[in-house]
Chains A and B, each alone.
Chain A
Amino acid sequence: MTIKNANDTLNTRMSGIISRVQNEHGMVRMIVILVGAFAFFTVLKPGIFLNPLNLQNIAIASPEIGIIAIAMMIAMLTGGIDLSIVAIANMSAITITTLYSGIVATNPESAAAAMPFIVLLGLVVGLVGGLFNGFLISYLGITPILATLGSMQIFNGLAIVWTGGATLYGAPEALAVLGKSAVAGIPVLFVLFIVAAALVAVIINKTPLGLKVQLQGTNPIAALYSGISPKTVLMGTYAIIGLLAGFAGILFLTRNPTASADYGSSYILLAIVIAVLGGTNPAGGFATVTGVVLATLTLQTVSSGFNAIRLSAYEYSLAQGTILIAVMIIDQITLKRRLRAPLIKQTHTAPQLVGK
């Protein structure tokens, strides 16, 4: 066998193994962890934990962080990261609140009629934020982490200037009503979350853009030589992330009718934890929406379980970090073992798949 052939078989075998490990393994693992966590807290505190109210709370708390995590997952799919998602979401929430309370103050009758447009405008704010990120990353060529670090400061800074650091009241009541309503015991917010997740899954798996995003993340150079324009792909990617961030901002308002510049400051870390836990490869190329949705539910279950057994938010933060690092270490060890086993039996260090 020539060296070239050996390399080819090695590569195909490796990519096959990696995608299997990343996708199936991630999914099965998440289901096991979710069921395990659920069973664990049920055994400890059945009375509190299995209370329908608690389950509904999990379903209502999941959507906003879940949407942010899915947006983070899309950024990671292209090998990037987006630190500005929460800042964009807050801008969207602030825009909606300011406009709506302004209209209510001057012309209360037309407020209800204008509501859908105002909410739509929240999505537009998200889209603009996302396009700005896309421009910085694709046209200027700034690394995603730095571009979004800077844009996060800008969006957050503008939000501080706009609100003067205060909390804004007067978000549309209709949104709060939506946040409290349920269909057959299932909160509407949760249904919206699942619909949005399904939409993203369709975009990633069934559309040309989704395929290009995956190829771009797997190997940017190969994607370039396959005639894929990285600029268009990245613009599209960050535009979708911006839209999702705008949507997350609307979800903020359904749970809590106030908007401020510093809402959800811990969400970026949490979103990264959820994305990685859900089987996303931070170096790009591999991710599943289902995995991220399951990871969201798992972390919410753990959070509400910690509440039920009276552990503090600090202990939850400790658990988050531990879960993140433990999962990454286990992934790395199993990946090394799987890569090593079927290959030539010489000491061979696994290539660095999860880059620096």
Chain B
Amino acid sequence: MNLSTLTNRDSLFRTLRGPNNEGILAVVLIVLVIGMSIVNPAFFSVGTLFSILRGSIVPLVFALGVLIVIISGGIDVSFAAIAIFASYTTVALANNGGFDPGLVGVVLIACFFGAVLGSVNGVVIAFFRLPTLIVTLGTQSIFRGILLAYVGSRYIANPPASIDQLATTNVISIVNENERAYLHILVIPVIVLALLVAWMLKNTMFGRGIYAIGSDSEAARRAGFPVVRIQMLLYTLVGVMAAFAGVLHVTLGRNANPQSLVGNELDVIAAVVLGGASVFGGRGSVFGTVLGVLLIQIINNSLILVGVPTAWQRTAVGILLIVGVGIQALSAKRNAKKVFVTAPLEG
């Protein structure tokens, strides 16, 4: 990285700000936490932290999948349909067959369904070069239709014992006279997954290929990236991740409801975009996405603690999104007017 042309203060500022404005987001997050703690001291507690983390488990896995798609220059709105399809079908299979596939079995079966559905997206998008938003809107409606019409529309209250057991397992339990705080065990696989995705995006040929396609798919093709194969693979991978999120959702909720999850896709996309990923592709980071998910979780779970009625949640997220992308758009406009200077090339 050549920053010699920049002054020290500039470079320090750039490092703190991060390649996708993650630094600014982190500051917003900290200010929000401090503000809420001043308004209501009860907010600043280990219990709140743990419950926000628990609430972030499923959205974060979704967001990581959406992040990969957005970096590649697409938009996916079918992930929630894939998640509930895979997890509900797995639970229904186990229930109807009267067997318990075990934790690993459940995850494997669900991920298999996720891979199949994800590859459907991949085939349509990669081979026919169709707009991703509209394709995934279509497949969302297909997956949901098949699930509810042919697999089942009945609520299943008792998932297999092996995953049900996990629902009440905590890594850290703090119980004293002041508070009760539990950190759910499923936070661990999600952290591992986030680290894996970050590593994949940064250090593998596949990950760099995703950025390359998102920046300019024609240039990526000429540079020798197998564009069709990368797209196929990435949509399959995102399908698997969505299925995994579906299993987490079923485990945490201790029921399988085929009507759940679908309809909240836009919240996840909002979190990823707030996290600095560009809908034009080629930009975005796992760190930013984690911050974006946490920010939306704090707003959704904690506004009530500072006396804002829950009815304002949606509006608050909408305003946050507009302000976030508005600032990005305005600074992009300003930068476009400047003479181009060398900028650090980072994902």
Contacts and interface: CB of A to CB of B under 8 A. Distances in A.
Nearest to A325: B138
Given A150-B318, A356-B132, A356-B281, A325 B149 contact: no
A202 B182 CA distance: 63
A344 to B, nearest CB: 20
A299 to B, nearest CB: 12
B325 A269 contact: no
A325 B145 contact: no
Interface stretch (B5-13, B19-27, B59-67, B327-335): B327-335
A265 interface: yes
Contact of A150 (B138, B153, B321): B321
Given A146-B279, A321-B142, A157 B312 contact: yes
A168 B315 CA distance: 20
Contacts of A158: 315
Given A321-B140, A332-B129, A141 B332 contact: yes
B124 A319 contact: no
Most buried by A among B75, B130, B139, B266: B130
B145 A150 contact: no
Contacts of A317: 141-142, 144-145, 148
Contacts of A346: none
A142 interface: yes
Nearest to A154: B318
Contacts of A273: 137-138
Given A158-B315, A321-B142, A269 B137 contact: yes
B106 to A, nearest CB: 25
Given A142-B329, A161-B311, A325-B124, A147 B145 contact: no
B234 to A, nearest CB: 14
A325 B269 contact: no
Nearest to A323: B138
A157 B318 contact: yes
Contact of B318 (A151, A316, A321, A356): A151
Contact of B313 (A140, A157, A282, A314): A157
B322 A154 contact: yes
B141 A157 contact: no
Contacts of A325: 124, 130, 135, 138-139, 142
Contacts of B311: 157, 160-161, 164-165
B181 interface: no
B288 interface: no
Interface in A135-166: 136, 140-143, 145-147, 149-158, 160-161, 164-165
A156 B309 CA distance: 15
- Chain A contact-residue range equals 35 or more
Interface in B136-181: 137-149, 153
Contacts of A322: 138, 142
A329 interface: yes
A81 interface: yes
A339 interface: no
B192 to A, nearest CB: 30
Contacts of A19: none
B33 interface: no
Contact of B145 (A136, A272, A319, A328): A319
Most buried by A among B139, B146, B263, B329: B329
A355 B133 CA distance: 11
A232 interface: no
A70 interface: no
Contacts of B273: 146
Contacts of B332: 141
A321 B138 contact: yes
B90 to A, nearest CB: 19
A354 interface: yes
21 contacts: A140-B329, A142-B322, A143-B279, A150-B325, A151-B322, A153-B321, A156-B314, A157-B318, A158-B315, A160-B314, A161-B311, A165-B311, A269-B137, A272-B137, A282-B133, A282-B134, A315-B149, A317-B141, A324-B137, A328-B130, A356-B73
3 A-B pairs with least C-beta separation? A318-B145, A153-B318, A157-B315
Interface of A: 81, 83, 136, 140-143, 145-147, 149-158, 160-161, 164-165, 265, 269, 272-273, 276, 282-283, 312, 314-322, 324-325, 328-329, 332-333, 352, 354-356
